């Protein structure tokens, strides 16, 4: 795989229930695993992540994040991911309050703040999510400084800087990366 200086590959799983779109699942993850040693950051946009977490881990996920808005019990899902020996992350949608992450902040390795509504690529960045990102960064620094803070959706060179200024340290880019004339230059610009 040509990865242009990226640090991980973010893998968006959509089940047609939790979000109104279907992307790809376990066999595709297994196929990608065979092609790269890059960290595979699996983002489950599915209704029942507890049921599927172990299978995605077995397929090669290096880390799994799931939505607090899903139907699964969050702590049980975190524990199930940890039982596979990999880091666990929690995700919140744009309209979910920052406080939703607090009960789990000490037991996860990542918090992912969605900066668009999950389900489709190519959406515009929601600036309204930045105060929430900033608040969660403060809580992470106080309670679990090793925890990563990730953003996903509408990330380009301009919005990447805004996300970093508000505390994100892991940035997911989709459309902006794939549409860039020079993806490696895009990655350098985002990291600069």
* Active-site amino acid positions: 12, 152
Residue 152 as a binder of Zn ion (CB under 5 A): the answer is yes
* Residue 12 is a binding residue for Zn ion (CB under 5 A): yes
Site for Zn ion in 60-119 (CB under 5 A): none
Considering only the stretches 95-103, 145-153, 163-171, 179-187, report the one whose residues sit in contact with Zn ion under the rule CB under 5 A: 145-153
Find the shortest distance in angstroms from Cβ 41 to Zn ion. Answer: 8
Cα pseudo-dihedral 43, 46, 47, 51, rounded to 10: -80
Nearer to Zn ion, 13 or 50 (CB): 13
Q: Cβ 46 to Zn ion, closest distance in Å?
A: 12
- Residue with smallest beta-carbon separation from Zn ion: 43
150 binds Zn ion (CB under 5 A): no
Size of the site for Zn ion (CB under 5 A): 3
Residue 29 Cβ, how far from Zn ion at the closest point, in Å?
14
Helix (H), strand (E), coil (C) string for the chain: CCCCCCCEEEEEEEECCCCCCECCCHHHHHHHHCCCCCEEEEEEECCCHHHHHHHHHHCCCCEEEEECCCCCCHHHHHHHHHHCCCCEEEEECCCCCHHHHHHHHHHCCEEEEECCCCCCCCCCCCHHHHHHHHHHHHHHHHHCCCCEEEEECCCCHHHHHHHHHCCCCEEECCHHHHHCCCHHHHHHHHHC
Query: According to the binding rule CB under 5 A, does residue 43 interact with Zn ion?
Result: yes
Query: If binding is defined by CB under 5 A, does position 148 make contact with Zn ion?
Result: no
Select the span of 7-15, 17-25, 53-61, 131-139 touching Zn ion (CB under 5 A). 7-15
The minimum distance between CB 98 and Zn ion, in angstroms, equals 19
**Stretch touching Zn ion by CB under 5 A, among 23-31, 95-103, 132-140, 151-159:** 151-159
CA distances from residue 94 to 65, 72, 73, 177, 185 in whole angstroms, order as listed: 16, 19, 20, 22, 29
What is the binding site for Zn ion (CB under 5 A)?
12, 43, 152
């Amino acid at each position: 795989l040509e990865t242009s200086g990226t640090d991980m590959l973010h893998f968006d799983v959509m089940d047609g229930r939790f979000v109104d779109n279907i992307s790809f699942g376990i066999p595709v993850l297994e196929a990608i695993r065979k092609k790269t040693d890059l960290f595979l950051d699996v983002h489950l946009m599915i209704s029942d992540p507890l049921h599927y977490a172990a299978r995605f881990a077995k397929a090669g996920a290096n880390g799994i994040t799931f939505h607090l808005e899903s139907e699964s019990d969050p702590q049980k899902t975190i524990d199930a991911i940890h039982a596979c020996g990999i880091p666990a992350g929690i995700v919140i949608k744009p309209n979910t309050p920052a406080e939703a992450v607090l009960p789990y902040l000490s037991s996860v390795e990542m918090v992912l703040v969605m900066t668009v509504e999950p389900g489709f690529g190519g959406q515009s960045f929601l600036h309204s999510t930045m105060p929430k990102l900033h608040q969660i960064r403060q809580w992470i620094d106080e309670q679990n400084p090793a925890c990563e803070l990730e953003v996903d959706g509408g990330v380009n060179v301009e919005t990447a800087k805004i996300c970093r200024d508000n505390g994100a340290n892991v940035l997911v880019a989709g459309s902006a990366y794939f549409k860039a004339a020079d993806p490696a230059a895009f990655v350098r610009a985002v990291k600069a």
